[in-house]
A and B are shown apart, each in its own frame.
Chain A
Amino acid sequence: MVEERMFENEKNTRQELSELAPGLLPVPDAPLYEVPEGYFDTFPLSLMKQTTGHSSGIQDVPAGYFDQFADTVLQKVKAGTSMGAYPAETPEMAPVHTIGSPRFSMMRYALAAACTGLLGLGVFQWIQSASVHSVENNYLSANQIISENRYEEVLQSISGEEIIAYLESSGFDVNAALVAEAAMEEDLPAPEDYWLDDNTLDQFLQKLNLPDIKEM
């Protein structure tokens, strides 16, 4: 990392140095000492924690909350649908299950969330992409899947492309799901970083190098 210099005084100092000690090296371009990688990215946040007791102006959310949210809701809905009522006690945070190809696991969460909402309305349109053509048949298929408790099995059988097509047609943010799928949580830029620097998110997306990401 090249250190920033604050003063445009180079000519004066170099001339002075050459007069005082001609044999002395000019200032090296890069510091010799090692600095742990990312130190300057994390220092302001760790400092903020010490000075104010929190890392930024926003409320903290437990780690992994948004990864598990869809699955948690889905389990509760499934339990409620098949038993006629929500179980008296549900685990606080359900484990994450990856269904089918990991490439599209996040897509499946989005789809599961979408289907959960649609179940409530009695419409199960995604079955259309699996060659069922009438609305009446859609109801029948959906009811059958629910009664046979084959929800996960059917969800797993749908291809990634079908999921993307459905989510796009339903107005879901496919790009966001793709980014969430490709990014590890610990790699995500801190909110304070992208609040302060508009380029942070662009650089982050470039780093992910998603071939099928659409212009956002």
Chain B
Amino acid sequence: MAVHPDDKTLLLEFANPATRESAYTRIVRKYQERIYWHIRRMVVHHEDTNDVMQNVFIKMWKHLDGFREDSQLFTWIYRIATNESLSYLEKNKKRNSQSASLDNEHSNLSNTIRAEKHFDASKLEWKLQLAIQQLPEKQRVVFSLRYYEEMPYEAMSKILETSEGALKASYHHAVKKVEEYILNH
């Protein structure tokens, strides 16, 4: 596993014009996989994930100068990634409704999962993926951060700008819905 410099060092290097680009690349390398999977679980398709990834890191490049160090860098990047993913899904939803598609967004994403190379409907891990797509988008984010990334509610609260209590309730609802889906399919 690659060892990455701490965020404070990277931010100092980014502030220096001579090391700005290399610091940026290091930040991308440090966070790209986590951010990728966070987005991919939301938008499912790799190409869409790649589009959102680019938007996230281009925004980071543009706004990192204004980043306030009273919050953590990873919180800030996750917040951008979450907002970009939700906004991407929202745009897709509008596009689909304009094109008079009969499929709704959930079934589109489920179909994308079913089209995955190693998809096996009998396997629980794939059922779990399908179950997650049935969740409302914000619940999906909460479930993903807690279940997959094992993120403490405190960090999630900073990313999603929601109280810890509300996040706990949201996660509990999400887990119950996912469990129910798996039991019935």
Contacts and interface: CB of A to CB of B under 8 A. Distances in A.
Nearest to A54: B21
A21 interface: yes
Contacts, number: 108
B151 A47 contact: no
A93 interface: no
Contact of B46 (A7, A9, A17, A34): A34
A24 B148 contact: no
Interface string A38-79: 011001100110111000110000000000000000000000
Interface string B35-54: 01100100010100010011
A142 to B, nearest CB: 49
Interface string B1-41: 11000000000000000000110111011001110110010
Contacts of B44: 33
Interface in A1-44: 1, 3-7, 9-10, 12-13, 17, 20-21, 23-25, 27-28, 31-36, 39-40, 43-44
A5 B24 CA distance: 21
Contacts of A36: 46
Interface in B40-86: 40, 44, 46, 50, 53-54, 57-58, 61, 74
Interface in B106-153: 116-118, 124-126, 128-129, 146-152
Given A6-B151, A10-B150, A44 B29 contact: yes
B124 A6 contact: no
Given A33-B40, A51-B24, A3 B150 contact: no
A52 B21 contact: yes
A36 B117 CA distance: 12
A197 interface: yes
Contact of B128 (A6, A25, A57): A25
Per DSSP, chain A at the interface is: loop
B185 to A, nearest CB: 13
B46 A35 contact: yes
24 contacts: A1-B33, A3-B34, A4-B1, A4-B34, A5-B149, A7-B150, A7-B151, A13-B147, A17-B147, A21-B175, A23-B179, A24-B182, A25-B125, A27-B150, A28-B125, A31-B37, A32-B126, A34-B46, A40-B32, A40-B33, A43-B32, A52-B21, A56-B21, A196-B22
Interface of B: 1-2, 21-22, 24-26, 28-29, 32-34, 36-37, 40, 44, 46, 50, 53-54, 57-58, 61, 74, 116-118, 124-126, 128-129, 146-152, 155, 172, 175-176, 178-179, 182-183
Given A7-B152, A43-B32, 12 more contacts: A3-B148, A6-B151, A10-B150, A13-B146, A27-B150, A31-B40, A32-B126, A47-B28, A50-B54, A50-B58, A51-B24, A196-B26
